Every structure is written in C-alpha cells, then in structure tokens.
Structure 1
Amino acid sequence: MTHRVGPKGQVVIPKELRDEMGIEPGDEVSFWRHDDHVALRRAGRPANLRGRFLASELTNELERERRADRDREAVR
C-alpha cells in the first residue's frame, strides 16, 4: 500500500487501516520516528464520563451532606 505525499506534506491513511485502528474523523493521532520509518497511533481519547457514577452512592452522599449543611446553617 503506497500513497503519494501531497504539496502540504499530507497523506491519506487508508480506510482499511483507519477502520482497523479505530481512527475516525476529528481524532488526534501521534507520530514518531522509529528507526528508518514514521509510526502513527491514535492519541488517547478523553474518557466519556456520562453515567460513570450511576452505580455509586456519590449523589446521595452529596445530597445528605448538603441537607446537613442547610440544617446547621438554619440553627445559627
């Protein structure tokens, strides 16, 4: 598989490799020199935090603490 480098120094990552590596439009990739060639890998994606604490008691604990704070403030 060979591709020509464009005038801006850009090359296209073949679809087969993008699919295999999970590279999607907008993803960041990192490059480095490895001996006599250039290597590429998908840069780490930020973790999706949605629903991360669903199984935890964190929300309930925070609500209890806030109620206790309000009760203490009301006594003053």
Structure 2
Amino acid sequence: MEVGVVGPRGELLPPKKIKDMLGLKPGTKVVYWVKDDKLIVEIVPRLEDLLRRKPVIEITLDEFHRFRKKFSEKIG
C-alpha cells in the first residue's frame, strides 16, 4: 500500500511509485467514482490504444447490420 496526499487546491497526488507503475504522466485522463465508500481511479484509455487492441468479438458486416436492425426495432 502506498500513501498519497491531497494538495492545497484539492488535487489528488499519488506517490511517484504508483504513477510510474501505471504510466501516469501530466495530461493523462482518469475517471473517478465512489464504490462502497472507496474512491476508484481508472485511466481513460486513449483512442490510439483502443484501436491497437485485439477485437473483443469478431462478426461480419452482415451480422452487424442484422444486430443493429433488431436492436433498432426493439428500442422503437
């Protein structure tokens, strides 16, 4: 466990070890939420990084269009 501090303007300052482990650099975007009275911080992936990932599923264009049509009909 590492301990960070809250800066004078209320900014969250994680320790260097955590920033290095996660690759946090100035300008890195993060999202915050609270779950069970705990602050959760998650890095927002850059579009470039998402595009480099292997697809979660593989479908044909026809399958995509059929799914989209069914979904559109379902939501009205």
User: 1:11 — aligned with what?
Assistant: 12
Tell me the TM-score normalised to structure 1 length: 0.52
TM-score computed with the length of structure 2 as normaliser: 0.52
Runs of 4+, deviation exceeding 4 Å = none
Residue aligned with 2:21, SS: helix
Instruction: Give distance in 2, aligned partners of 1:12 and 1:4.
Output: 5
Task: Name the structure 2 match of 1:27.
Answer: 28
Q: Distance in 2 between matches of 1:3 and 1:31?
A: 16
Give the number of the structure whose residues are more often strand, by fraction: 2
Determine which structure has more spread, i.e. the larger CA radius of gyration. 1
Q: What stretches of structure 1 of length at least 5 have no aligned partner? A: 53-76
Identical positions, percent: 33
Number of positions where the alignment pairs a residue of Structure 1 with one of Structure 2: 49
The residue type paired with residue 47 of structure 2 is P
- Deviation, 1:8, is 2.0
Q: Which runs of 5+ in 2 are unaligned?
A: 53-76
Greater RCO, CA 8 A, separation 6+: 1
